[in-house]
Chains A and B, each alone.
Chain A
Amino acid sequence: MTEHTVKAFDEDITRLRGLIAEMGGLAEVAIQESLHALVNGDADLARQVVERDRKLDTLESEVDKLAVRVLALRAPLADDLREIIAALKIAGVVERIGDYAKNIARRVGDVEDRKRFDPLTLLPVMGEVAAEMVHDVLTAYAARDPVLAREVIQRDERVDTFYDSIFRNLVSYMVENPATISSAAQLLFVARNIERIGDHATNVAEMVHYAATGEYPPDELR
C-alpha cells in the first residue's frame, strides 16, 4: 500500500495493527492453553491463562484510545476509515474470545474423573480448529485478504459440527450415569465456549472482509 503523505498517520495505523496482532496472538494461545490445562487437569496453567487475560483487556483499551485519537486527529476516509472502525470492533471481539478461553480455564478444577470422558479428546481438536480460525482471521486482517477471511467463515461449520457431536456424546454420559452430570455439564459449557469462539472469529472475518473491500461477504457464507 502506498504511504500517506503525512508519515505519522502510517505510524498510527501500523501501531494499531500491531496491537490487534498482539491481541490475536494472546487469544490464540489462551484457547490452546486453556484446553491443555483442561485435558491434563493442570491447575497452574489454568491460573496463568486467567491471569494473562488481563493483558488482553489492557490491549483492548489501548486500541480504543488510539483509534479514537486517529479518528479525531486524522479524520481518516475510505479504506483508512474502514480499517480503523474494523480495528475498534475487532479488538472488542478478540477480547471476548479471550474471555471464553478464561472461562474454560476456570472450569479446569471442576471436572472430575477425566479418563471417563471421550469428549476430552475431542475438545482440544475442536479448540484447535477454533484457534486456527482466530489465527487465520488475524492473518487475513494483517494482509487485508478477503479470500482468507471468506475461507475462515466457511470453517465455522466444522466447529458447529464438533459442537453437535460433543453435545450428543455428553448427554448420553449424563443419561447413562447421573454421577457424571456435574463434570459433563462443565464440559458442555467448554464446548459451548469453543463454539462461540468460532462464531466470533466469523464476525471478525466479516469485518476484515468489509475493511478490505468495502463490501460484506455474500450472504450464503454468513
Chain B
Amino acid sequence: MVTEISENSPAKMRARDVSVYYGSKRAIDSVSIDIETDYVTSFIGPSGCGKSTFLRTLNRMNDTIPSARVEGAIELDGEDIYRSGMDVVQLRARVGMVFQRPNPFPKSIYENIAYGPKIHGLADGKDHLDQIVEKSLRRAGLWDEVKDRLSDSGTALSGGQQQRLCIARAIAVEPEVILMDEPCSALDPIATAKIEELIDELRGRYAIVIVTHSMQQAARVSQRTAFFHLGNLVEYGETSEIFTNPREERTKDYITGRYG
C-alpha cells in the first residue's frame, strides 16, 4: 500500500492494523491511517469496499452491529477508543457523525441543536444554551435561514437545510472529529455546494472525514484522499496527487472509470 503516514505526526486519530469482521467475513483488512485536523480526508472506493465500515469504527458505531468485531488499535489523541471502560456516548460526542440521509429529530429546530449540549451538560443556563444554538447554526451556515422560526419542526426544512441542521447538531457538542457518510447523496447540486462550502469553512477547526461516491466531490472538498478496495486501503495521499497521478494501478482504474 502507498501511504504517507509519518510515525511522529500530530494526528488527531490514528488507526493501526485495523481489521473488521462481520461474523467470519473480513470487511476491513489491516488498515493503518492517520486523520489530521488540518485536512479534510475523503474515503473513496466502490460499493462494498469497506470505506463506510471503516468510518464507523472511528466512533465505534459498529458496536451496534452484534456480529461486528474490530481488531487493531484506533487512537483519539493517543487514547485507545476500544479500551474497556471507554465512555462510548462521550466518544460519539467527541467524534460526531453526519449520515447519508438527513435525520433531524422530530422536534423543533432549536431542540435539535440544544439536545446534545443538554444531555452532555455543556450548557450553563438558558442564555448559554441559546448562545450555543445560535453559534452552531451560524457555523453550519443555517442561522439566517431559520433564526425567525426556531420553534418550527426540524423535519419541515428542505433536505439541504436538514443536512446542515444535522451538521449544526454535531457541532453543538464541540466535537473534535466529524465523520460524514455520503452527506450529499440525497441532495441537489445547490444544496451539495452549500454543504461543501460548509465543510471547507469547518476545516482546521475539526478533523473531518467524508465518505463519498463522487470523485469530483472528493477532489473538491478534501486535501487527503484514501482509496479503499476489497477491504484494503490501497492508496492514501494528497488529493491532488491521487487524482492527477495515482501511484497504484487499482486507484487509477477506479478513478478513471475502468473499474470492474
Q: Which residues of A contact B (CB under 8 A)?
A: 1-6, 9, 75-82, 214-215
B243 to A3, Cβ gap below 8 A?
no
CB pair B245–A214 under 8 Å, yes or no, is yes
Query: Interface SS of chain A: helix, strand, loop or mixed?
Result: loop
Task: Using known A-B contacts A75-B216, A77-B215, determine if residue A214 contacts B256 with beta carbons closer than 8 Å.
Answer: no
Could you tell me the distance in whole angstroms from the C-beta of B163 to the nearest C-beta in chain A? 24
Nearest neighbor of A81 in chain B, beta-carbon distance: B244
Contact call B245/A76, Cβ cutoff below 8 A: no
Does B216 lie within 8 Å of A3, measured CB to CB?
Answer: no
- B258 interface residue per 8 A CB criterion: yes
- What is the interface of chain B mostly: helix, strand, loop, or mixed? helix
A214 pairs with B258, CB closer than 8 A = no
Asked whether, in the complex, the Cβ of B252 is within 8 Å of the Cβ of A78, the reply is: yes
Q: Assuming A2-B253, A5-B259, is B243 touching A77 (CB within 8 A)?
A: yes
Of all A-B residue pairs in the complex, the 4 with the closest CB atoms, nearest first, are A214-B245, A2-B258, A77-B255, A80-B256
Question: For window 208-260 of chain B, which residues contact chain A by CB distance below 8 Å?
Answer: 215-216, 219, 243-246, 251-253, 255-260
CB contacts (< 8 Å) of B215 on chain A: these are 75, 77
Known: A2-B253, A75-B216, A77-B215. A82 touches B258 (CB 8 A): no
B257 touches A79 (CB 8 A): no
Interfacial chain B residues near A76, Cβ < 8 Å: 256
The answer on a CB contact under 8 Å between B244 and A5 is no
Report B's interface with A, CB cutoff 8 A. Answer: 215-216, 219, 243-246, 251-253, 255-260
A9-B256 Cα distance, complex, nearest whole Å: 10
Residues of A within 8 A of B255 (CB): 77-78
Residues of B within 8 A of A2 (CB): 253, 258
User: Contact between A4 and B256 (Cβ–Cβ < 8 Å)?
Assistant: yes
Cα of A75 to Cα of B256 in the assembled complex, Å: 9
The answer to whether B258 and A4 touch across the interface, beta carbons within 8 angstroms, is yes
Query: Could you show 15 A-B contacts with beta carbons less than 8 Å apart?
Result: A2-B258, A3-B258, A4-B256, A4-B257, A5-B257, A5-B258, A6-B257, A77-B219, A77-B243, A78-B246, A78-B252, A78-B255, A79-B256, A81-B244, A215-B245
Task: List, in ascending order, chain A residues with CB within 8 A of B256's CB.
Answer: 4, 76-80
Q: Which of B216, B245, B260 contacts A78 (CB 8 A)?
A: B245
Residues of B near A75 (CB, < 8 A) are 215-216
Contact partner, B244, options A1, A3, A82, Cβ 8 Å: A82
Q: Which residue of B lies closest to A76 (CB)?
A: B256
Complex Cα gap A79–B216 (Å): 16
Chain B residues positioned under 8 Å from A215 (CB to CB): 245
- B252 touches which of A3, A9, A79 (Cβ 8 Å): A79
In angstroms, how far is the closest chain A Cβ from the Cβ of B111? 41
A79 to B251, CA, bound (A): 11
Q: How far is the CB of A19 from chain B (nearest CB, A)?
A: 21
Q: Is B257 a contact of A9 with CB atoms below 8 Å?
A: yes
Min CB gap B215→A, angstroms: 6
Q: B252 to A5, Cβ gap below 8 A?
A: no
**Residues on the B chain within 8 Å of A80, using CB:** 256
- Docked CA distance A82–B244 (Å): 7
Q: How far is the CB of B162 from chain A (nearest CB, A)?
A: 28
The CA-CA distance from A80 to B215 in the complex, in Å, is: 14
Which residues from A are CB-within-8-Å of B258?
1-5
Q: For B216, list chain A residues within 8 Å (CB).
A: 75
Contacts of B245 in A (CB 8 A): 78, 82, 214-215
**Most-contacted residue by chain A among B219, B251, B255, B260 (CB, 10 A):** B255
Q: Shortest Cβ distance from B226 into chain A, in angstroms?
A: 16
Within the assembled complex, what's the spacing in Å between the Cα atoms of A78 and B245?
A: 5
Pairwise interchain contact B244-A214, C-beta atoms closer than 8 A:
yes
User: CA separation between A80 and B258, bound complex, in Å?
Assistant: 11
Chain A: minimal CB distance from B121 (Å): 47
Beyond the given A76-B256, A78-B243, A78-B256, please list 12 additional residue pairs across the A-B interface where CB-CB is below 8 A.
A3-B258, A4-B256, A5-B258, A77-B219, A77-B244, A77-B255, A78-B252, A78-B255, A79-B256, A80-B256, A81-B244, A214-B244
Q: In the complex, A78→B242 CA distance in Å? A: 8
